Structure 1
Amino acid sequence: MKSHASTLLAEVRTFRQNHPDVRYVDLIALDIPGHFYGKRYPIEMLEKVAAGSPLKLPQNAVLLGVQGGLFKIGDYCFNDGDPDANRRLVPGTLKPVSWESQPLGQMLITSDGTEAPIEFEPREVLAKVLERLQHKGIHPVVAFELEFYLFDKKLDNGLPQFARDPLSDDPDDQPNLHIERLSRFGEVLDDMAQTAKDQGIDITVITAEIGPGQFEINFGHLDDGMRAADWAALFCRSTRGVALKHGYRASFMAKPYLQYPGSGMHVHVSLYDGAGNNLLAAHQQQPLRHAVAGCLELLPHCMPIFSPNHNAFRRLGGTVNAATRASWGFEDRDACVRIPESDPRNLRIEHRLASADANPYLVLAAILVGLEHGLEAKREPIAPLNEDRSSGTDFPLEMLGAVRAMQHQPVLRDKLGAEFVDVYCENKRQDHLAFQQEINAREYRWFL
């Protein structure tokens, strides 16, 4: 414990030496909807926390809805006295914040690894899954890919406006998938990439996607699944901040335009044993087929995780590479679970269903549970799309049905935790019902 504290203390002191103008550090964690919450600490107090002083925040901050409100979920929030819960600093995550107007730092905090972890904290849910896999001799290697849109900083009566292309205001003039669009928005994209690298994130490929002002940025493969999810979460925060600095608004909203493709979170996962052998490639790739079958079996029950809000369900179907059924295929981007071409050493799945605004900790936890379940059940998957274009199983396409499908699924309750499943499902149900409590202009046009 002393060694751990000394390492943290050294990290804070080194940061203070390298950034003497930083007076405050944001201590942040991801809540259930995927938003950061936390506190802004004076750097002197952070040093005390690193040395062992308690770090406590309200337990129920994790339960906030999309708009920040609290819902009555079991005895939480309104019948529990709103207790504090211990958090700890995540080593290696203290970094400068370059997109704010004043010098600032940020550092991740979490309840996992404390004496009483919060069972429904997203990072703790993933931590339990990774720990269980490690005990079974399964070591995931993970890489995230995130799509997002750039918009003009100012909204037009609450609606997004296309990002102003330096050469044209017409969205149809933006060359989709062309390298030229990367040059047109090169200044802000370069800053996003460099800022992410300053946060310790390994940025690799940048792509101009099909939608106007839409881009995809890929991260390097990591043998630490938790760190991979940390990267995805931190990238969203820094990208939004950098965009505002350049006069844009960056959004990971799943479906901002009905006429253009939505934004997804693609996750590459391979599994290795302790000796570094690819478990999916053994026995003529039979474990790969089992793992795929497990993913597809649980996928319909994980939809509140993969599509965490009303808008995210709009992304499914009707546009490029967005499935409406649980399916798989080799080198097939229409599939939910794609098997990219690779040598046996790098054989992996690419899970393509989650929306870009999903919670990366929970998305990865759900994917890993699907793979784990498949390896244990040893069932054969349905036919791949390469053999049958109609292959696939249905999954819920609206939130309330999705929540019903998730809440009582025994494998998820066992492997993600029954307490988490109950809390998460009720959070999503209440968010959805709150969203419906507004009459929009179309209803008046149709029914008045």
Structure 2
Amino acid sequence: MKSHSSTLLAEVRTFRQNHPDVRYVDLIALDIPGHFYGKRYPIEMLEKVAAGSPLKLPQNAVLLGVQGGLFKIGDYCFNDGDPDANRRLVPGTLKPVSWESQPLGQMLITSDGTEAPIEFEPREVLAKVLERLHHKGIHPVVAFELEFYLFDKKLADGLPQFARDPLSDDADDQPNLHIERLSRFSDVLDDMAQTAKAQGIDITVITAEIGPGQFEINFGHLDDGLRAADWAALFCRSTRGVALKHGYRASFMAKPYLQYPGSGMHVHVSLYDAAGNNLLAAHQQQPLRHAVAGCLELLPHCMPIFSPNHNAFRRLGGTVNAATRASWGFEDRDACVRIPESDPRNLRIEHRLASADANPYLVLAAILVGLEHGLEAKREPIAPLNDDRSSGTDFPVEMLDAVRAMQHQAVLRDKLGAEFVDVYCENKRQDHLAFQQEIHAREYRWFL
């Protein structure tokens, strides 16, 4: 513990030397809906925390709904006295924030690794899954890909407007994959990439996607699943900040336009043993087939994680590469689980179903549990789409049905934790019901 504290203290002191104008640091963590919460600490107090002073925040901050409100979930929030829970600093995540008007720093915090972790904290859920896999000799390597849209900074009657092409000042309202769009928006895209790199995130490929103002950013492969999910979470935060600085809004909303493609979170996962051998490639790739079968079996029960809100369900069955059934295939982007072409060393799955606004810790945890279950059950998957274009199994396409499918699934309750499953499902149920408590103008047009 002393060695750990000394490392953190050195990190904070080095940061202060390199950034003497920074007076405050945001200590942040991701809640269940995927929003950051936390506190802004004076840099001197951060040194005390790094040296071992307690860091406590309300336990129930993790349970906030999409709009920030608290729901009654069991005895949490209203019958538990709203207790504090210990958090710890995540080493290596203290970085400068360049998109604010004043010099600022930020650092991730978490309850995982404390004496009493919060069972339903997203990072803790993933940490437990990874720890169990490591004990079994399974070492995942992970890479995220995130799609997002750029909009004009100003909304029109609450609705998004197309991003303005900085060269022509015309709306970027034509869906295309043209490389020139990367050049036209190079100022903001380059700033996003450089800002992400300053956060320690390995940005690789940038793509102009099909939707107007839509782009995709790929991250490097990591043998640390927690850090890979950290990257995805931090990238969303920095990207939104940089976009505003340049006069845009960046959004990871799953389906901002009905007529254009939605935004997804694609996750590449390969599994290795301690010696570095690819477990999926052994025995003529039979473990790969088992792993795919496990993913597909649990996928219908993980829909509240992959599609975490009403809008995310709109993306399913959309205009481009958004599956409507649990399916798999080789080099097939219509499949939920795609097997990219690769050599045996890099054999992996690409899980394509999650929406871009899903919680990256929980998405990765659900995928890994599916792979783990498949390797244990050793079942054969359904036919790939390459052999049968109609192959696939149904999954829920509405939140309340999805919650019912998730809450009592035995494998998920065992491997993700029963307490987490109950809390998460009730959070999603209450968020969905709260969303329905507003009468839309369309209802008046139809029924008044």
TM-score category, normalised to shorter length: over 0.9
C-alpha contact (below 8 Å) 1:326/1:394 kept by paired residues: yes
C-alpha contact (below 8 Å) 2:164/2:172 kept by paired residues: no
Give distance in 2, aligned partners of 1:98 and 1:141: 30
Give distance in 1, aligned partners of 2:208 and 2:49: 42
1:118–1:172 Cα change, 3 Å: closer
1:210-251: CA deviation from partner (whole Å, max 9, x where unpaired)? 000000000000000000000000000000000000000000
Q: CA deviation at 1:314?
A: 0.1
How is 1:350-361 mapped onto 2 (pairs within 5 angstroms)? 350-361=350-361
Q: CA deviation at 1:176?
A: 1.3
C-alpha contact (below 8 Å) 2:32/2:424 kept by paired residues: yes
Give distance in 2, aligned partners of 1:390 and 1:171: 39
1:314-352: CA deviation from partner (whole Å, max 9, x where unpaired)? 000031000010000000000000000000000000000
C-alpha contact (below 8 Å) 1:266/1:352 kept by paired residues: yes
Give distance in 2, aligned partners of 1:25 and 1:252: 25
C-alpha contact (below 8 Å) 2:139/2:272 kept by paired residues: yes
Q: CA deviation at 1:423?
A: 0.1
Q: Percent identity?
A: 97
Give distance in 1, aligned partners of 2:257 and 2:201: 29
Count of residue pairs the alignment pairs up: 448
Q: CA deviation at 1:166?
A: 2.2
Answer with 5-14 or 165-174: which moved more: 165-174
> Which structure 2 residue ranges, 5 or more long, are not aligned?
none
Match of 1:433 in 2: 433
Partner SS for 1:388: coil
C-alpha contact (below 8 Å) 1:317/1:324 kept by paired residues: yes
Give distance in 1, aligned partners of 2:360 and 2:192: 19
Match of 2:395 in 1: 395
Partner SS for 2:345: helix
Give distance in 1, aligned partners of 2:172 and 2:200: 36
1:358-410: CA deviation from partner (whole Å, max 9, x where unpaired)? 00000000000000000000000000000000000000000000000000000
1:288-337: CA deviation from partner (whole Å, max 9, x where unpaired)? 00000000000000000000000000000031000010000000000000
Give distance in 2, aligned partners of 1:175 and 1:409: 40
1:250-304: CA deviation from partner (whole Å, max 9, x where unpaired)? 0000000000000000000000000000000000000000000000000000000
Q: CA deviation at 1:169?
A: 5.6
Give distance in 1, aligned partners of 2:266 and 2:218: 9
Give distance in 1, aligned partners of 2:324 and 2:144: 22
Give distance in 2, aligned partners of 1:175 and 1:118: 43
C-alpha contact (below 8 Å) 2:262/2:318 kept by paired residues: no
C-alpha contact (below 8 Å) 2:172/2:213 kept by paired residues: no
Give distance in 2, aligned partners of 1:175 and 1:413: 42
Give distance in 2, aligned partners of 1:97 and 1:301: 38
How is 1:91-130 mapped onto 2 (pairs within 5 angstroms)? 91-130=91-130
Give distance in 2, aligned partners of 1:169 and 1:366: 43
C-alpha contact (below 8 Å) 2:328/2:338 kept by paired residues: yes
1:148-171: CA deviation from partner (whole Å, max 9, x where unpaired)? 000000000100000001244655
C-alpha contact (below 8 Å) 2:22/2:43 kept by paired residues: yes
1:102–1:170 Cα change, 3 Å: closer
Give distance in 2, aligned partners of 1:166 and 1:82: 49
Give distance in 2, aligned partners of 1:185 and 1:90: 34
RMSD (Å), alpha carbons: 0.8
Match of 1:80 in 2: 80
Give distance in 2, aligned partners of 1:118 and 1:442: 41
C-alpha contact (below 8 Å) 1:147/1:216 kept by paired residues: yes
> Which structure 1 residue ranges, 5 or more long, are not aligned?
none
Partner SS for 1:77: coil
Partner SS for 1:101: coil
1:173–1:430 Cα change, 3 Å: closer
1:173–1:256 Cα change, 3 Å: closer
C-alpha contact (below 8 Å) 1:175/1:181 kept by paired residues: no
C-alpha contact (below 8 Å) 1:144/1:219 kept by paired residues: yes
1:81-103: CA deviation from partner (whole Å, max 9, x where unpaired)? 00000000000000000000000
C-alpha contact (below 8 Å) 2:303/2:406 kept by paired residues: yes
C-alpha contact (below 8 Å) 1:165/1:174 kept by paired residues: no
